[in-house]
Structure 1
Amino acid sequence: MSSAPRAEVPGTKWWQPRTWSLRRRLVLTQVALLAVVCVSIGVATEFALQRFLMNQLDDQVMEAGRRSAAIFELPPPPLMFPPPLGPDGRPMNPPPGRHHILFDPERGPGPGFLNAPGQAARTVGAVVAPGRPIDAGVITSDGDRVFVSTAAADQLAQVPPDHTPRTIDVDGLGRYRVIGLHPRHGGPQTIVTGLPTAVVDDTLLWVLGMFAVLAVVALIVATLGGILIIRRQLAPLSRVSAAARAVADLELDRGEVRLPTPIVKVDPASAHTEVGQLGTSLNRMLDRIANALSARHASETRVRQFVADASHELRTPLAAIRGYTELAQRKRDDLPVDVAHAMNRVESETARMTQLVEDMLLLARLDAGRPLERESVDLSRLVVDTVSDAHVAGPQHQWSLELPDDPVVVDGDEARLHQVLANLLANARTHTPPGTSVTVTLEPDHDGSVALTVADDGPGIPESLQPEVFERFARGDSSRSRREGSTGLGLAIVAAVVKAHGGTIGVRSAPGATAFTVRLPGVAPSQATHRSDQSDTKLPSQR
């Protein structure tokens, strides 16, 4: 059983909503909904206000059109003059038999009805004969009357006398709401009157700006409020996630595991909610996992204790068997040939079984967590000695060394580290054909650790077997068949010893290139004890 590695968290991409966190999705969804509501309210308000203001403007245009048509039919008065002013500045009553009017239709350019009382500033008017304008003008913002351009007059001449207000763009004047009427008593002319839509447009624009400002303020407030509220509401989920991460970081593959119970505190009042149900389910799941891990640990403890006791008890009879076989071997000349051969086989198998018992006892001790010896170990000297032994044991292989100029020192158990390297070299010698080149490389890493690599150009390890290569009693295929008394515990012992030293081991294998890499914590240069002077062994030439 092994713990699964933590999943890599991909970077968040703003164009991929599936990579967003739940908090971000909720906040953005809330803001998006509020934005849709604000836009809908704004559009509906603008539409309703535009209809309302246009209806008001149409009423004003129709009233101005009827007034203009009525004034157009009035006959010229017999006497037209402004009323005289009295000493107090007020208009005087006209003399008997005389009267005055309040406007002069002949004053200024354009149709005379534009000079009538009640006509608003910027009112446009035209008298149109069939197909062509007769007279057209506009009241300026300061009350004067001016002619409109020829293009504007032609545009006004196109307005039909159907008593229906319509919107046109008058050349040089802007958008106008205009209406065409016939004189009330008939006639070929068409009286066109129009009022500007600028007031309506300005009002709609102002309301639109006000809505935009209010919507922005509302969205900002909603975003900040949503972040605070959603963060508070999702706090229980954050606690559940933190608890799950804490459990995931525990070493669950071996040893005794103590899970905190309950891992998530659930308020009884909120146990029926979604978050409460999630916390309760997580607690129940972890309780069952804790029980299963406890049962597994108890079973493993019993098995390890049995292996340790059995290994310890087997050492005594094995020692006796070896003693008797050695005694018998002293008189092998007096024994029959078949009996002497049998005694040789007993002695070799006893030695192999003794080694197996010692390996199992070592693994049991490492599993029990017994501390190793701690001293400064000169790995450079250790590598030279171990490779020299391997060269003697496997003269048909090509052995090479790559060592740094300065000795490499680590803190550990020298005997166990020697066993690590010896097992790796024995593994390379046993499972590769004669003539294979084996290279041992030792180098300090940039992070202060030490890397020890044993590489060969043999047939390699099948990819399907690489994940199990450090398991106990692991067997390879025919290319790495069991030979020379291999017990299947060598690499398992290597992994256990390396882990006990706080290091790691890995393997990369392909046909023609297999490398086992051991990384161990290094020792500061000031603490290193150089042992190269204590050894008479000379380093072979480095490649």
Structure 2
Amino acid sequence: MVRVLLIVAAIAVLLSGASTLTLSRQLTGNADRQLSAIVDRLRAPGAGFQTADALLRGGQPIGTLYAAYVAGSGEEADSGRLASTRGPQVIKAALTDAVVAQLSQIDPNDGPTTIRLKGLGRYRVAGYPAVFNDNQQGTLVVGIPLSDTDRVLSRTVLVALSVSLLALIGAAVAVQEVVRRSLRPLNRVAATAQQVSQLKLDRGDVTLALRVPEADADPVSEVGRVGQAFNHMLDNVDRALAARQASETKLKQFIADASHELRNPLASIRGYAELTRRERDQLPRDTAYALGRVESEAERMSSLVEDLLLLARLDSGPAIEVGPVDATELLINAVSDARAAGPDHHWSLELGSLGQGNDPPPVVIGDRNRLYQAVVNLLANARTHTPAGTSVRAGLRVEGQEVVISVSDNGPGIPADVQGRVFERFSRGDDSRARNGDEARGSTGLGLAIVAAVAEAHHGLVRVWSVPGDTRFELRLPLAAAPDPT
């Protein structure tokens, strides 16, 4: 667009300059012919010139001047300028010494020339050899003002510049419209890309139905080739997402089926192991220890199976019972249980002004048991992955239309490269937040994955921030609408 405008501007300047130069030459030629006509009218029937007064008669333009110089001495013989006219009467004005001196430098052999006379402006002057009436040889310099010519040229330049400016503006508008029309298909391609970028493609059953319109995917034009390539890319991504979803569905179904099949054998193992408790005192110590380990590992395996089944139910669709849940009561009970389970940690609960005065406690709509399990898992995660003596703070607040449940601790923190996958199933961090003691044997590695699944099932989300000495999890859930008092 800039290149086109520069070309238009250059053409406009060239045309304006050419027209102005042509007009200037024409006007200068007219002035030269006018000078010749004035001199011809002054010529006497003989070889000489008429008297000076004749120069100021005969319809010469106002401002016409002359100066006669005697040959050899260069002295001024006569000079004057037509100042004005009153009917047949003319008013003659004398020339200044500076102007007379300028005119004396005019050479008759140079022809007409343009000079700027002091106090009078631009003049077209010419010198002619002359024989005056007293037979004196000399030079007669005649000049006519170029003020009218300058005014015409100024107006012409102004008109040319105005026309050039209008042409430039018109070209800019036309080019802008052409560019805008040519970019419309590209804008539609960009709009499609923007819509695709806003889709959640990282999980779940994703159908990528957005495409660039066929009219904008015609390979005849460059923009059409871009649209066609973009559609091919979307087709490829759609197939990849479908393959991923099919693979995930098969894997989840396998895990669910395997978990169902493992429940009964694990229950039998636990039952038989429990039956041996009464006779373990009579068994060798190593055998009794082995049976105890079988029982504890069977319990851990059963817990893992139950967690896998819960995730499978949450993945398969609505598996929650919906009802009003008092978030304050939920958090108080969860912290109380966590304090009993982890007496070697320092527990605190921050409710602020919630539940005080006449304001009703914050309520969310969802499954009480699942929400309670999510909060318990957050607290258990802090207990499991921090050393004894760590301070764990649980908080509850309302932000806009969300209930925010937070769990923070001053433990060693979560590495930055792990924070992005802590909510994945069986995610493991490094040794800085390694499992502690017996807690390691009681955890399945699915706690935070269950929290994320429960949050998603309730149209909420869970986030984490962590630096050494400060780790904070936030569970955000939609706030239930307040009941209408009427």
Under TM normalisation by the shorter chain, which class is it? 0.7 to 0.9
Which is further off, 129-138 or 349-358? 129-138
- Paired amino acid for 2:429: G
**CA deviations over 1:6-52 (Å, ceiling 9, x no partner):** xxxxxxxxxxxxxxxxxxxx4x6544543333233222322332233
The corresponding residue for 1:515 is: 472
* Equivalent AA in structure 1 for residue 352 of structure 2: P
Q: Distance in 1 between matches of 2:177 and 2:56?
A: 65
Greater displacement, 125-134 / 331-340? 125-134
Q: Secondary structure at the match of 2:444?
A: coil
For residues 288-341 of structure 1, the C-alpha deviation after alignment (integer angstroms, 9 at most, x for no partner) is 222222111111111111111111211111111111111112332232221211
Which residue number corresponds to residue 288 of structure 2? 340
Shift in CA distance, 38/157, structure 1 to aligned 2, threshold 3 Å: same
* Contact 1:461–1:509 (8 Å) recurs in 2: yes
Task: Give the TM-score, by structure 2 length.
Answer: 0.87
Shift of 1:63: 5.0
* Partner in structure 2 of residue 307 of structure 1: 255
Is 1:381 the counterpart of 2:329? The answer is yes
Corresponding residue for residue 89 of structure 1: none
Change (3 A) 1:396 1:68: farther
Distance 2:45 2:345 in 1: 125
SS of alignment partner, residue 434 of structure 1: coil
Residue 127 (1) aligns with residue 68 (2): yes
Distance (whole Å) between structure 1 residues aligned to residue 114 and residue 47 of structure 2: 26
Q: 1:293 corresponds to which residue?
A: 241
Q: State the secondary structure of the residue aligned to 2:243.
A: helix
How far did 1:175 drift?
1.4
User: Cα deviations across residues 428-448 of structure 1 (Å, max 9, x unaligned)?
Assistant: 112222222211121111x22
Structure 2 residue identity aligned to 1:168:
I
Q: For structure 1, which segment, 277-286 or 131-140, has the greater mean C-alpha deviation from structure 2 after superposition?
A: 131-140
- Counterparts of 2:188 and 2:158, CA distance in 1: 44
Paired with 1:360 and 1:46, the residues of 2 have a C-alpha distance of: 90
Instruction: Please state if 1:489 is matched with 2:446.
Output: yes
Q: Does 1:117 align with 2:58?
A: yes
The amino acid across from 2:194 in the alignment is R
Letter in 2 for 1:117: G
Residues 246, 65 of structure 1: alpha-carbon distance in 2 compared, 3 angstrom cutoff? same
Partner of residue 48 from structure 1, selected from 22, 31, 48: 22
1:477 to 427, 430, 433: 430
The residue number in structure 1 matching 2:202 is 253
CA shift digits 1:154-184 (9 cap, x unpaired)? 3333434442333322233221122233326
Question: Partner amino acid for 1:264?
Answer: P
* TM-score, structure 1 as length reference: 0.78
Q: What do residues 370-397 of structure 1 show as CA deviations (whole Å, max 9, x unaligned)?
A: 3422211111111111111111122222
State how 1:321-360 maps to structure 2 within 5 Å.
321-360=269-308
Amino acid at match of 2:415: P
Structure 2 SS opposite 1:358: helix
Q: Is the 1:71–1:113 Cα contact (8 Å) retained in structure 2?
A: no
Indicate yes or no: 2:150 matched with 1:201. yes
CA drift of 1:56 comes to: 3.3
Q: Write out per-residue CA displacement over residues 94-130 of structure 1, whole angstroms, 9 at most, x where no aligned residue.
A: xxxxxxxxxxx3xxxxx44522536333212222465
Letter aligned with residue 410 of structure 2: D
Residue ranges of structure 1 left out of the alignment (5+ in a row): 1-25, 77-104, 106-110, 529-543
Find 1:144's aligned residue among 64, 79, 91. Answer: 91
Residue identity in the other structure for 2:127: G
The 1:378–1:169 alpha-carbon spacing in structure 2 relative to 1, beyond 3 Å, is same
| Structure 2 Cα separation of the partners of residues 518 and 65 of structure 1 | 106
Deviates more, 1:273-282 or 1:352-361: 273-282
How far did residue 480 of structure 1 move? 1.0
Amino acid at match of 1:464: D
Measured in 2, the distance between the counterparts of 1:131 and 1:420 equals 117
Taking structure 1 as reference, are residues 444 and 356 closer, same or farther at Cα in structure 2, changes over 3 Å only? same
DSSP 3-state at the match of 2:474: strand
Q: 1:70 to 1:245 in 2, by over 3 A?
A: farther
Matched, 1:506 2:447: no
Read off the aligned partner of 1:48 and give its amino acid letter: T
1:65–1:192: 8 Å Cα contact kept in structure 2? no
Matches within 5 A, 1:364-443: 364-405=312-353, 406=355, 407-443=361-397
- For residues 511-537 of structure 1, the C-alpha deviation after alignment (integer angstroms, 9 at most, x for no partner) is 111111222211223279xxxxxxxxx
Q: Are 2:229 and 1:275 equivalent residues in the alignment?
A: no
What are the superposed Cα offsets for residues 470-515 of structure 1, whole Å, 9 maximum, x if unpaired? Answer: 2222211111113423333222221221122112222221111111
The 1:62–1:514 alpha-carbon spacing in structure 2 relative to 1, beyond 3 Å, is farther
Asked if structure 1 preserves the Cα contact closer than 8 Å seen for 2:49 and 2:131, the reply is: no
Take 1:371 and 1:45, find their aligned partners in 2: how far apart are those partners? 86
Aligned to 2:139: 190
